[in-house]
Chains A and B, each alone.
Chain A
Amino acid sequence: MTSSDQPRRPRMRPRTVLRMIALYAILLILLLPAGFVFFWMVSSSLKQGVDIYTMPPKWLSFEPTLDNYERAFERTPFLRYAFNSAFIATASSLLGLAIGLPAAYTIARYNQKRLAVSLLTARLLPAVAFLVPFFILFTQVGLVGSYPALILAHLLVTFPLTVFIMVNFFEAVPSELYEAGEVDGAGKIGVFFRIALPLTKTGMVTSGILAFIFSWNDFKMALVLSNAETRTLPVAVYNFVHEASLEWGPMMAYATVITVPIIVLTLLAQKHIVTGMTMGSIK
């Protein structure tokens, strides 16, 4: 099974097969919880009202319908919320990169410990401790519900993440390359733009994707700072809870539609997500 077993393989066969079976059995147990939640979300979204409430549940033997999706989209301006989510996530990821890249570069190159620590501290601050002052401030200046307010709030999510991931990528560039650039007369700022940035494109994609996902997923910022016009999808789906009759069908339809883009992104960019999440945490 593993390469180290190869020399002894002929004798080990029956045990190897058993171990393979055991491995896949454990794997199944590991994957079951994620699979079940996902299955329950999607299947509920495709069930008719009655079928959702039936016990024992109709696992697969129900008439699939898109009614829930239709009702969910009719009742709420779904496209508007989807646009808000995508717009705020894109803007805050790009801004996070624009502000985070140069800082990550100097932290990596000049070993700026204090700057790194102050950014780490921003990463530690509980979002609620950030939200309350900003809610008060934005109320005073009439910015509650505005895109700039939401994008700024989402920077608290995207910006530290970007820096922590990018420091790794800038550090991975051999310092001789930076020095050679300076000797060639690129200038110090030029080295950043013409050597550091082109060599770390993968890192930018990685941190961009992760920043986008976590901004798209964020709930509390928009819960406090958005209004009916600028509401994002997670808050929109949460608002279903407050309606007089809990309608699980349309709610699950909404939940599915919010999650699917993220799943597609995960499948397409698995490598980026793996490296990004690992780096963003270890630093």
Chain B
Amino acid sequence: MSAPHTRPTQTPPERPTRGKRGTRRGGGFSWFTERYDRFVLPAPAFLLVVLLLVFPVAFTLYMSLHSWNGGLRPPEFVGLDNFARTLEDARFWGGVLRTGYFVGLAVGMQVVLGVAAALVFHRKFVGRGAARAFFLFPMIATPAAIALVWKMMFDPTLGVLSYLSQAVGGPPITWTSDPNLVIPALAMIDTWQWTPLVMLIVLAGLAALPHEPYEAARIDGAGELRVLFSITLPLLRPVVLTAAMFRLIDCIKTFDTIMIITAGGPGHSSEILNLYAFNQNLSFLNFGYGSALLVWLTLLVFGVAILLTIARRKGATSS
């Protein structure tokens, strides 16, 4: 990976001289780039944002007001019909509820486990570096590949999880084919994958905690549990909120794992809103109706992000 940093640094020889001359002679294009460097430098990024964000959002809004199935006939304007239809669509509401269920379960589990893991990795012990690298593996490993391993482990006939459970006298574990257990199973897999991220964020928070409260506690002779619950956890609250916020937002958008393991099944019992929107658009080619679903999905993500940002600010000012 030496390429990324060699490339930009190779450019300097030409550009700076141009800039230097520009400031001295005070004319031409280089004068412009010097005067407005704060707009010139991020200009490509700005264009990319227009392309990656403004265009898709505008297009989705436009398409959500039309009916179109990708054929030769041009999209037909239908006003807010698509949105009205979503409100009567049981599969849409099911998707919304399942999204909430999945996200709440997954983020709840990974935040608790992530904080616990961070408290462990914050201690000094022999082999910490290697153990941490190992612990990060689920977050870095290719989700599509890992999803297939889970799919195999949950398999009704050759699933190793079922075997292990039955070996200790438990029931067969075929959660991914059980409509009532498929969401908890997927939430567990998401927790497996993303607890390391929560751990990393909280670990950084732990490293930045002030020393004074701990010294005071030691002088007072407070026990370790007492210190954990009265000092460490309250001080960590903003960091934990940050971690939870990032996980909440990304968890709503979970796609790979669910698509590969269950494809939304059995029936629709693991079809979260993201997958339903994907299916309406790219499986059924209902681009108008599908775009209305995408508008809801995007609003959901942005809404959660805005609410969490406000909550975080309030938390920051009150404490």
Interface positions of A (Cβ within 8 A of B): 1-4, 20, 23-24, 26-27, 30-31, 33-35, 37-38, 40-41, 44, 52-53, 55-57, 90, 93-94, 97-103, 105-107, 109-110, 112, 115, 118-119, 121-122, 124-137, 139, 152, 155-156, 159, 163, 185-190, 192-194, 197-198, 201, 204-205, 207-209, 211-213, 216-217, 219-220, 223-224, 233-235, 237-238, 240-241, 248, 251-252, 254-256, 258-259, 262-263, 265-267, 269-270, 273-274, 277-278, 281-282
B169: CB under 8 A from chain A? Answer: no
Q: Which of B5, B132, B203 has the most CB of A within 10 A?
A: B5
B138 cross-chain contacts in A, Cβ below 8 A: 33-34, 37
Complex Cα distance, B53 from A265, in Å, reads 31
A255 and B149 within 8 A (CB): yes
A-contacting 9-mer, from B80-88, B117-125, B174-182: B117-125
CB distance from B275 to the nearest CB of A (A): 9
19 new A-B pairs (CB below 8 Å) besides A127-B253, A189-B16, A282-B201? A4-B218, A37-B150, A53-B158, A98-B8, A118-B49, A121-B302, A122-B52, A124-B305, A125-B298, A190-B20, A193-B12, A194-B16, A197-B12, A219-B143, A219-B144, A234-B256, A258-B144, A259-B146, A281-B197
Complex Cα distance, B5 from A201, in Å, reads 6
- The chain A residue with its CB closest to the CB of B191 is A33
Complex Cα distance, B127 from A23, in Å, reads 12
* Band of interface residues on B: 35 or more
A-B residue pairs, 4 tightest by C-beta: A208-B4, A187-B19, A190-B16, A103-B45
A52 and B158 within 8 A (CB): yes
A281 and B152 within 8 A (CB): no
B77: CB under 8 A from chain A? Answer: no
A235 and B144 within 8 A (CB): yes
CB distance from B224 to the nearest CB of A (A): 10
B63: CB under 8 A from chain A? Answer: yes
Chain B contact residues: over half helix, strand or loop, or mixed? Answer: helix
B48 and A159 within 8 A (CB): yes
B132 and A274 within 8 A (CB): yes
A270 and B132 within 8 A (CB): yes
Mark interface residues in B230-274 (1 if CB within 8 Å of A CB, else 0). 000000000000110010010011011001100000000000001
B200 and A124 within 8 A (CB): no
B160 and A40 within 8 A (CB): yes
17 residue pairs A–B, Cβ–Cβ below 8 Å? A57-B163, A97-B4, A103-B41, A106-B37, A122-B52, A128-B278, A186-B20, A193-B9, A204-B4, A204-B8, A209-B1, A234-B145, A235-B144, A238-B260, A256-B145, A262-B140, A282-B204
A187 and B20 within 8 A (CB): yes
B67: CB under 8 A from chain A? Answer: no
A220 cross-chain contacts in B, Cβ below 8 A: 255-256, 259
CB distance from A274 to the nearest CB of B (A): 6
B108: CB under 8 A from chain A? Answer: no
Q: Which of A94, A152, A252, A270 contacts B149 (CB under 8 A)?
A: A252
A135 cross-chain contacts in B, Cβ below 8 A: 281-282
B56: CB under 8 A from chain A? Answer: yes
- The chain A residue with its CB closest to the CB of B239 is A282
Mark interface residues in B28-56 (1 if CB within 8 Å of A CB, else 0). 00100110011011101110110111011
CB distance from B193 to the nearest CB of A (A): 10
Q: Which of A93, A137, A159, A270 contacts B4 (CB under 8 A)?
A: A93
Complex Cα distance, B141 from A33, in Å, reads 13
B297: CB under 8 A from chain A? Answer: yes
B5 and A188 within 8 A (CB): no
A38 and B139 within 8 A (CB): no
A124 and B44 within 8 A (CB): no
Complex Cα distance, B197 from A31, in Å, reads 14
Complex Cα distance, B255 from A279, in Å, reads 24
With contact pairs A133-B55, A258-B145 given, residues A205 and B158 touching in the complex (Cβ less than 8 Å): no
CB distance from A53 to the nearest CB of B (A): 5
Q: Which of B4, B41, B139, B301 contacts A126 (CB under 8 A)?
A: B301
Complex Cα distance, B149 from A129, in Å, reads 28
A56 and B167 within 8 A (CB): yes
B8 and A101 within 8 A (CB): yes
Q: Which of A30, A55, A211, A269 contacts B135 (CB under 8 A)?
A: A30
- The chain A residue with its CB closest to the CB of B122 is A2
With contact pairs A90-B3, A94-B4, A118-B53 given, residues A112 and B142 touching in the complex (Cβ less than 8 Å): no
A122 and B53 within 8 A (CB): yes
Q: Which of B16, B125, B274 contacts A187 (CB under 8 A)?
A: B16
- The chain B residue with its CB closest to the CB of A159 is B48
B60 and A133 within 8 A (CB): yes
CB distance from A98 to the nearest CB of B (A): 7
A234 cross-chain contacts in B, Cβ below 8 A: 142-145, 256
Complex Cα distance, B8 from A103, in Å, reads 13
B150 cross-chain contacts in A, Cβ below 8 A: 37
B70: CB under 8 A from chain A? Answer: yes
Q: Which of B107-141 contact A (CB under 8 A)?
A: 117, 120, 123-125, 129, 131-141
B294: CB under 8 A from chain A? Answer: yes
Complex Cα distance, B52 from A118, in Å, reads 11
Q: Which of B286-314 contact A (CB under 8 A)?
A: 287, 290-291, 294, 297-298, 301-302, 305
A281 and B243 within 8 A (CB): yes
B281 and A132 within 8 A (CB): yes
B16 and A274 within 8 A (CB): no
